[in-house]
Structure 1
Amino acid sequence: MRSTKLRQAAKGEDCTLRLYPHCNGDPETVVLCHLPSHAGMARKSPDWWGVYGCSCCHDVIDGRCKTEIPKIEVERSKLRALFETQTRMRDKGLIR
């Protein structure tokens, strides 16, 4: 599922990933970051399976940036971020 509304809703939001020390805290760089799913290699997950992430946190979860953060902590951050992002989307009336 692709949704322009869900992708555009990320603009100006706070990063929900907050991967210290990488998070830049700049809402101007926040986009909808797709989390991995069953979609397969080189295929994006549905837009509802994404989180609001700043450019630096996005680089970490997509593997473009090396990190010392343990994988389990990154996975926990993704799960928390998914809950926070979907709560914001629900509050905006974008999902039910």
Structure 2
Amino acid sequence: MTRIVSKKLRDSARGRDCTVRLPGICNFNPETTVLAHLPCGSRGVGMKSPDLIAVFACSACHDAIDGRVRGAEVGEGDLLRALAETQLIWFREGLLTVKGAA
């Protein structure tokens, strides 16, 4: 998997609303939001997906994504929606560009 690391993308999560918003888990506190890498492909200690495959997650949702919350249901639909919302924010702010897009 291609390694994509971007300080600008990581920093863009600071102070943002959580895009994950897991029911019964999300703390809705932008002060705890970080860029949370989604599980895809190989996983393990020190192995993360590229920064493009990440979402704005509050500390509680991040813990659920990373499996640190017992019994937390993290649906693929929740993650896909959060990824789309995060990437559209990056696109609007010019942090993500698409050749030929208007």
Counterparts of 1:29 and 1:17, CA distance in 2: 13
**TM-score scaled to structure 2, two decimals?**
0.85
Structure 1 runs of 4+ aligned residues shifted over 4 Å read none
Aligned-pair identity (%): 48
User: Aligned runs of 1:16-95 on 2, under 5 Å?
Assistant: 16-42=19-45, 43-69=47-73, 71=74, 74-95=75-96
User: Which amino acid letter does the alignment assign opposite residue 56 of structure 1?
Assistant: A
Measure how far apart 1:12 and its partner are: 0.9
User: Which amino acid letter does the alignment assign opposite residue 76 of structure 1?
Assistant: G
Q: Please give the secondary structure, in 2, of the residue aligned with 1:83.
A: helix
Q: Please give the secondary structure, in 2, of the residue aligned with 1:51.
A: strand
Q: Please give the secondary structure, in 2, of the residue aligned with 1:63.
A: coil
How many residue pairs are counted as aligned between the two chains?
A: 93
| Unpaired runs of at least 5, structure 2 | 98-102
Larger radius of gyration: 2
State the partner residue of 2:15.
12
Q: Over the residues paired in the alignment, what is the CA RMSD in angstroms? A: 1.2
Instruction: Indicate how the Cα distance of structure 1 residues 95 and 67 shifts in structure 2: closer, same or farther if over 3 A, else same.
Output: same
Larger helix percent: 1
Measure how far apart 1:37 and its partner are: 1.7
